[in-house]
Amino acid sequence: MKKYIILSLMMLLATASFCQSKMPDETKIKGNNAKFTAIVKDALLKGRIDQGRGAYSINVPKSIRISYDDFRRNMRYNNLVVIKNGNLTTKAMIKFGNRVPAIRSAEFMPENEIGYYLARVQSDKLQKGKAYIVLGGSSKAVDVEWSGRVANGMIEGSGTGVAMLENGQHYVISGKYINGIANGNCTVTQVTANVEDGMLDPSKMITKDKSYMVSDFINGYARYYKDDKWGFIDESAKVVVQPKYKKIVSSFDSDGEAIVLNDQDEEIKIDKHGSELGYSDHQNEIFAEARRKAELEEQERQRKAAEEARQRAEQEEKARIAAANAEKRRIDEIRNAKEGDRIVYCEDWVHTETNTFLWFTLSERRDAYTMKVICFVEKNVDNGERLQVRVGAVESSDKRYYNTPIIEGIRYEKGDVIWIRPLENSGWWME
């Protein structure tokens, strides 16, 4: 049974290569053979062949009998062909190398058991040897059923095989091996197999649990890939650097140093024991370039900040000069005020409207407006230091809102005469 499980694993994991077969001249075939040929040809041309696990299947009506010659004539270019016939008899043809050894059939055989069934007649195609499987950071030589060569008890060359450990774990290995050690982009995948009532259930046996890959050996070390991370193994298949890096930049050189990429996308140097020795020369160049770039960016930022500060200072100076000139004109005009001249007092106000619900503010609107008190000069005392003026009117820049400014603490009405000190209050302007 162990042999059957191994062989079935290999049969079902192998990739079935499909080539369209050369069809015979249908005019030379009579009866059911011609019908069968036509069915196969139609399926090939129209893509009606269903690809299963390592097999191609065609549904054929129960009324058509299938012979050995029918298989060889129509399907001899395929690796594995399954004919599902109406009489519940399954027939299959398998090709090894350049020859078709036999047509096999079995009454009421489920399609998922075909690999197990056919493996029994091909047991002489596999070699028994040993290979090293990396388990938990160390290696172990295990028995392997191997499709390639075996030398001195160890598997050699390229091929595919299945290893069964004592604890029931199954590993499917493929690639190139030298003296039982993976060498040349080899893959190792742990699978699970389920055997019930002495038969193999392929639908439950290709569940990937663990897998890893090993590259070519360089200076005695090979790259080791597992769980989306990279490390190294030595020629005894022992893990010397745990797979924890995102990428191997360069393998170990003659000085025993390798360069790897960590989770921060930084290149670091490591020794054969996995100790980190610092950043690589290339990474240091990257850092230096980043520093140069950062320095240039900082210089540019400071230049822009200085330019913005200069422009702000220039604008502020212009505003200060303009304000000073405006104040000088205001004072000069007030000092030269004559009886009957119009002088106004301006004051800015803000009207706020708030829309609330319970204790919550839903919206708020703010409108700015200016109130202007229009007066007329009656007396100018001490060159504008004091003016006697008569209130003429109070106006608002927004007709929706109105307020009466208080001037120097004095409440007034239209027509009132008041004394003011306009030089001391910048709200007064001559009009």
Q: Amino acid identity of 252?
A: F
Considering the domain architecture, whether residues 15 and 34 belong to the same structural domain is answered as yes
Domain match, 410 and 309 both: no
What crossing angle do the helices spanning 31-46 and 68-75 adopt, rounded to 10°? 30
- Using alpha carbons only, how large is the chain's radius of gyration in Å? 48
Instruction: Give the largest Cα separation in the chain, rounded.
Output: 137
The number of domains in the chain is 4
**What is the DSSP-derived secondary structure letter of residue 265?**
S
Same domain, 148 and 252: yes
Are 43 and 135 members of one domain?
no
- Return d(Cα 373, Cα 415) in angstroms, integer: 12
- Choosing from 247, 274, 301, the residue where a domain stops is 274
> Which residue, of 123, 144, 167, is where some domain finishes?
123
Task: Identify any residues that bridge with 420 across adjacent strands, giving them in sequence order.
Answer: 387
**C-alpha 31: how far from its chain's center?**
59
Q: How many CB atoms lie within 10 A of CB 305?
A: 10
Please check whether residues 130 and 225 belong to one and the same domain. yes
Q: What gap in Å lies between CA 354 and CA 97, rounded to an integer?
A: 90
Task: Match 């009489």 to its residue by tokens.
Answer: 87
Task: Tell me how far CA of residue 207 lies from CA of 64, 133, 169, 266, 335, in angstroms.
Answer: 38, 18, 12, 35, 101
Per-residue pLDDT, 260: 95
β-strand partners of 89: 107
Same domain? 118 vs 22: yes
What pLDDT shows up at residue 186? 74
pLDDT-flagged residues of the chain (< 70): 1-34, 36-37, 39-59, 62-63, 65-125, 135-139, 166-168, 184-185, 190-212
pTM assigned to the model: 0.44
Decide: 89 and 70 in contact? Cβ < 8 Å.
no
User: Is residue 133 located within the same domain as residue 263?
Assistant: yes
Pair 197, 294 in one domain: no
Q: Which of 103, 123, 143 is the last residue of a domain?
A: 123
**Two structure tokens written together for 107:** 């009454």
Range of the domain at 169: 126-274
pLDDT of residue 131: 86
Distances (CA, A) of 78 to 44, 103, 109: 12, 13, 21
Is 133 in the same domain as 235? yes
Instruction: Give the chain's end-to-end CA distance (angstroms, integer).
Output: 115
DSSP 8-state symbol, 79 = S
Query: Residue 18, exposed/middle/buried by CB under 10 A (0-12, 13-18, 19+)?
Result: middle
Give residue-wise pLDDT tens across range 315-362. Answer: 999 999 999 999 999 999 999 999 999 999 999 999 999 998 888 888
Count CB-CB contacts under 10 A for residue 359.
Answer: 5
- Contact status, residue 335 vs residue 384, Cβ threshold 8 Å: yes
**In a shared domain, residues 215 and 91:** no
Instruction: Based on the fold, state whether residues 116 and 162 are members of the same structural domain.
Output: no
- What is the pLDDT at residue 171? 74
Judge if 51 and 16 occupy the same domain.
yes
Q: Are 233 and 239 in contact (CB under 8 A)?
A: yes
